[in-house]
Amino acid sequence: MIVAQKERAVMRAALVFAVVLSGVYLGCSFPDPNGEPLGCGRCDLPKRSIDGDAGQADVERTATDPSAPDAGKPPVKCSPATPFGPAKLVPGIDPNIHASSPHLTADELVVFFTGQDPAASSQIMRASRVSRDQPFGPVEPVSGVNSTSNDNDPTVSSDGLTLVFHSGRSGNNDVWWAKRAGLGADFGAPTLAPGIATSAYEGQGFFHVASDELWFVSNRDGNYDIFRAKLAGGTFGAVENVTELNTPNDELLPFLSKDGLTIYFSSTREGGRGGQDLFLATRANPNGTFGAPTPIDELNTSVTEQAGSLSPDDCRIYFSRFGGPGGQQLFVAERPLPP
């Protein structure tokens, strides 16, 4: 009987030790990266979520206790109809340099942008970071892409494999692109986007992977307007003026949301606050016509704002604004989560 009591005591001690040990491994007694304690029924660990956009990473709060209040519920996301919060400088990018046209990879860990030294031509630059809540590291030119001419307004496709920009290296401003085999590889030698170049200006291109469409700006019809062309058989087909978006003023720097239902761009049209301003327009399906563009009033100011890119979840917009010691700076604004 005494032996049995000792065995039960040992078992109870082992059970207590196991519970304590599991708490340590679940992080119950340690703060999360923001200094907040973690509940023992939950574990805040980074979980990589891969969808059609290679490399997209989300940090989600995962319920480990089925009885937890939000167990089994999807992570809370912003509403695309919610206005953006205040714009802030993109952390880690020196505000003293001239930086414009920011475009990020789907995981928001690499930013491509136009950098310009007043004494030299503009170049395609990049910087990277280890997580979205960290500042970007050192800025460097994109290897194998830049020329001795002006290279501007880079955008990267949602799969991270195609870099589109415009350059004057051919003697005219044209849309160029460069491709790579994988996310860790360098981009290959740039080539003209096939079927796009004319004697007019073509630039500020954005390749939408889901629709195989190149959206870009040209003054071939007199004004700087938004155009699109579909890729088929290795070349872009008929170029179409997106008339529902264009005015006698300038429409510039277009890019689409991941689902293709919202387009963002800059314009000097009426309804803004001065210079170029940010606008958006929506449509019901990816093949539909866009409705009337509306200004993004919460971000527009009396100086120029130039469109850049949108996070895949539609929650963060990156753009540039005139001002600062370098003449132009990179900003980010985020839509707040619902209460």
Domain limits of the chain?
A: 2-63, 88-334
Kindly report the pTM of this predicted structure.
0.78
**Class in CATH terms, 88-334:** mainly beta
Give CA separation, 87 vs 84, 91, 243, 279, 319, in Å. 8, 12, 30, 15, 9
Per-residue pLDDT of the chain (339 residues; tens, 9 = 90+): 444 444 444 444 444 444 333 443 333 333 333 333 333 332 332 332 323 333 333 322 223 344 545 556 677 889 999 999 999 999 999 999 999 999 999 999 999 999 987 667 899 999 999 999 999 999 999 999 999 999 999 999 999 999 999 999 999 999 999 999 999 899 999 999 999 999 999 999 999 999 999 999 999 999 999 999 999 999 999 999 999 999 999 999 999 999 999 999 999 999 999 999 999 999 999 999 999 999 999 999 999 999 999 999 999 999 999 999 999 999 999 999 998
Residue 179 near residue 167, CB atoms below 8 Å: no
Query: What distance lies between CA 218 and its chain's CA centroid?
Result: 23
The tokens describing 73, both together, are 């519920």
